[in-house]
Amino acid sequence: MTADADFWSQIFNFTNYGELLVLLQNSIIAGAVLGVVGGLIGVFVMSRDMAFAVHGISELSFAGASAGLLFGVGVVEGSLVGSLVAAALIGLLGTRARDRNSIIAVLMPFGLGLGILCLALYPGRSANKFGLLTGQIVAVDNPRLGSLIAISIVVVVGLAVVWRPLMFASVDVDVASARGVPTRFLSLYFMLLLGLAVAVSVQVVGSLLVLSILVTPAAAALRLSSSPVLVPLLSSVFAVVSLVGGIMLALGGSVPISPYVTTISFLIYVVCRVIAALRKRHGNSGRTVDPLPARG
Amino acid sequence: MTLPDPTSRPAGAPAAPADAVLALRNATLGFGSRTLWSGLDLAVTAGEFIAVIGANGSGKTSLLKVILGQQRLSGGTARFLGAPLRRGNRRIGYIPQQKLADDGTPLRARDLVGLGISGHRFGVPLPSASRRHQVDELLAAVGATRYADAPISSLSGGEQQRLRVGQALAGNPSLLLCDEPLLSLDLNYQRTVSELIDTQRRARDLGVLFVTHDINPILDMVDRVLYLANGRFRIGTPDEVLQSSVLSALYGSPVDVIRTRGRVIVVGTADGSHGHPDATGETAHHDRHLTPDGQAS
């Protein structure tokens, strides 16, 4: 019985919760900001079918962060450089989906290997090392929160500026290109924004779990709606709830923050799928009349 | 009909009519040492429906790319509404092959059509009553009002192609370029989508260039046929071009054109391992689904 209580108090512990909340105020703000970024860019990750690219970029981001740690440049700077290099490579070399997937598959293990090498050579505490892969609950200090918010603003404003043509190019590249939308430029532009978004997400949830912020919330939102207004809105709400909720649950426990975030985000996805399945059974398809029997 | 410089035209090439929407003169397209077609003279007049057919790799799609300003001619001139071609011309509508949208597409039917109106503009789309009205009109014109608010990933291929027609009409075009828009549709939808395009070109006086591997679904709609093969081409009415002697000369090998029950079957053009898509396999496949009067069963 006591062993059992110990186990649960490691995971959930709400003693002195008020004080902890104040201490980790920065983390919670960071989580909320990241949620908005992840939720918004996730919509394009889904419509451009780039979930695998997110994973690839995050491994290179891990390599960059490890190198930053080893050479004393800084984890944040290192992960930014790693992300941007990976995003640029994938954007430049992988214009077609098949090319892109093979380039990512080539880059990813190389990045992971490089990161592991840097960590092995790093003489410091091992808790820092593990945190790069699986996330960390270390308090986000003020300068770090500042840089995180600044990068997030760049991503959100950067997305807003190209929102419409980027959506056009994402769902219908041939027609968009025929209409004069600069599809190649947008593709590279988007990759760089994605690189920035991955780099900031890695700092909170770790490189292995970035997908839970950049893909799962958008995938869940797409189960519920196809409205170009509702999907980004829901996706951001889901991501914010996952991150802020995860951080708040993790506060007292001795477990890293990422399992809480990924679990909430996963549960939201499951609920959305169930709702979608129920709706389908009740024939709510957005059509005013039943479709004709002959379908092409 | 005046010609700016008659000497620059090759002998025998027809002058572009005054009401030509699109005029290609002595146009040549090649990549490196390979020439797709050369000396192409083509004038598309307002309201004219022209089918572009020919073997795989004969440069049908490349012709559309040239007109869209995505590819430069290696020789000759091309003008649209009297001006040189440029990228992103709003007066040219484009309908590509049907590709089924997947679940990751955050758009409803009306949003896809809306992209045709303002998808090229930067910024976040703000709600606009006039745009909504315009979208409603386009949806009604292509008969898609019924599923206006359905996610496009839930629509059939034929329903999606109707939307594509609406999207292409959004810019109030003078010329419609269609690149295999009937591909992978069943016969019923091949019929309705091509009839939709035909109705709209008459109503709006659109020039239409319709790239297809199978002329039969549009045979009774087209005014002229541009047949590309082996770097050569023939332009004329379907009756003029779709003849054994004409196509045999074009391919440089015996080709039979068989007309049966109002359909045209081209036999003997199998070039290369891909096989000619006009060859019997394809059309025979369709024939099985047709009732004798040519209507989709």
Per-residue pLDDT at B8 exceeds 60: no
Tell if the CB–CB gap between A181 and B88 is shorter than 8 Å: yes
* Cα-Cα end-to-end distance for chain B: 47
- CB of B112 within 8 A of CB of B58? no
Identify which of B108, B121, B168 has the shortest CB distance to residue A286. Answer: B108
Residue B12 lies in a domain: no
pLDDT band with cut points at 50, 70 and 90 for residue B149: very high
Residue A285 or A33, more confident:
A33
Tell me, yes or no, whether A7 lies in a domain.
no
C-beta of residue A146 within 8 angstroms of C-beta of residue A93:
no
Distance (Å, whole) CA A103 – CA A109: 11
Using 50, 70 and 90 to split pLDDT, how confident is the model at A271? very high
Residue B134 in any domain: the answer is yes
User: B183 Cβ partners below 8 Å, 6+ apart?
Assistant: B97, B98, B213
SS3 (DSSP) at A244: helix
Query: CA separation (Å) from A89 to A38, A167, A188?
Result: 21, 22, 9
Count A/B contacts: CB-CB distance under 8 Å: 139
Asked if residue B27 belongs to a domain, the reply is yes
Residue A112 has pLDDT above 50, yes or no: yes
Cβ atoms of residues B40 and B60 within 8 Å: no
**Alpha carbons within 13 A on the beta-carbon side of A84:** 10
Question: At A99, which CATH number?
Answer: 1.10.3470.10
Query: How close does chain B come to A180, measured CA to CA in Å?
Result: 3
What's the whole-number mean pLDDT along residues B49-66? 91
Q: What is the pLDDT confidence band of residue A170, given thresholds at 50, 70 and 90? A: very high
pTM: 0.85
Report, as an integer, the average pLDDT of A194-216: 89
* Arithmetic mean of pLDDT over chain B: 83
**Rounded CA gap, B194 and B176, in Å?**
12
Range of the domain at B282: 19-287
Q: Which residue has the tokens 């047709």?
A: B290
Whether residue B72 has pLDDT greater than 70: yes
Would you say residue A101 has pLDDT above 60? yes
What percentage of residues in chain A have a pLDDT greater than 90?
Answer: 53
pLDDT at A288: 65
Tokens for B145, please give them: 């009002």
Q: What is the mean pLDDT of residues A67-88?
A: 91
What pLDDT, on the 0 to 100 scale, is given for residue A284? Answer: 66
Chain B residues in contact with A162 by the CB 8 A cut-off are: 122
Q: What percent of chain B stands above pLDDT 90? A: 53
Residue B13 has pLDDT above 50, yes or no: no
pLDDT score at B10: 46
Partner residue opposite A227 with nearest CB, options B108, B157, B168: B108
State whether A178 and B102 contact (CB < 8 Å).
no
Per-residue pLDDT tens digits for B239-288 = 999 989 998 888 888 888 988 888 888 888 764 333 344 433 333 333 33
pLDDT score recorded for residue A131: 73
Residue B277 domain flag = yes
Residue A157 located in a structural domain: yes
pLDDT for A106:
92
The verdict on residue A245 lying in a domain is: yes
The predicted pLDDT at position A73 comes to 87
**Chain A interface, Cβ < 8 Å to B:** 43, 46-47, 49, 160-165, 167-168, 171-172, 174-181, 219, 221-222, 225-228, 231-232, 285-289, 291, 294-296
Going by pLDDT thresholds of 50, 70 and 90, the confidence category of residue A9 is: confident
User: What is the token pair recorded at B24?
Assistant: 């290609």
Parallel, antiparallel or unpaired: strands B75-80 and B207-211: unpaired
pLDDT of residue B50: 96
Mean pLDDT of B115-133: 88
pLDDT of residue B283: 38
Chain B residues with CB under 8 Å of A49 CB are 102, 104
Is residue B252 included in any domain, yes or no?
Answer: yes
The partner residue sitting opposite B124, judged by closest CB among A164, A175, A285, is A164
pLDDT of residue B291: 36
* Domain count across chain B: 1
Q: Does residue B153 lie in a domain region?
A: yes
> Is A47 close to B167, i.e. CB distance below 8 A?
no
| B147–A287 C-beta distance less than 8 A | yes
Count of structural domains, chain A: 1
| B111–A165 CB contact, under 8 Å | no
Place of tokens 């430069």: B72
User: In the prediction, which pLDDT does A295 show?
Assistant: 44
Q: Which residue has the tokens 């991503």?
A: A155
Contacts of B106 in chain A (CB under 8 A): 43, 46-47, 167, 221-222, 225-228, 231-232
- Mean pLDDT in chain A? 86
- Chain B residues within 8 A of A160 when measuring between CB atoms: 123-124
Q: How confident is the model at residue A75 (pLDDT cuts 50, 70, 90)?
A: confident
Question: What is the extent of the structural domain holding A74?
Answer: 23-281
Q: What is the mean pLDDT of residues A63-67?
A: 91
Smallest CA–CA separation between A157 and chain B, in Å? 10
Report the distance separating Cα B211 and Cα A155, nearest Å.
41
Q: For position B278, what pLDDT does the model report?
A: 41
Place A139 in a pLDDT band, splitting at 50, 70 and 90.
low
pLDDT at site A280: 83
CA angle A38, A41, A46 (to 5 degrees): 110
**Among A147-151, A176-180, B3-7, B281-285, where is mean pLDDT lowest?**
B281-285
pLDDT bin (cut points 50, 70, 90) of residue A2 is: low
Residue B7 in any domain: the answer is: no
Cα nearest neighbour of B113 on chain A: A168
Summarised one tens digit per residue, pLDDT across range B17-57 is 667 899 999 999 988 888 899 999 999 999 999 999 988 88
Q: Say if A3 falls within a structural domain.
A: no
pLDDT at A74: 83
CATH code at position B107:
3.40.50.300
In this structure, of A259-263, B123-127, B156-160, the range with the lowest mean pLDDT score is B123-127
For residue A214, the distance in angstroms to the closest alpha carbon of chain B comes to: 14
Q: Answer whether residue B218 is part of any domain.
A: yes
- ipTM, 2 decimals? 0.83
For residue A251, pLDDT beyond 90: no
Of A211-220, B59-68, B271-280, the least confident: B271-280
Distance between CA A38 and CA B186 in Å, rounded? Answer: 40
Average pLDDT of the segment spanning B80-88: 91
Chain B: residue nearest A177 by CA? B88
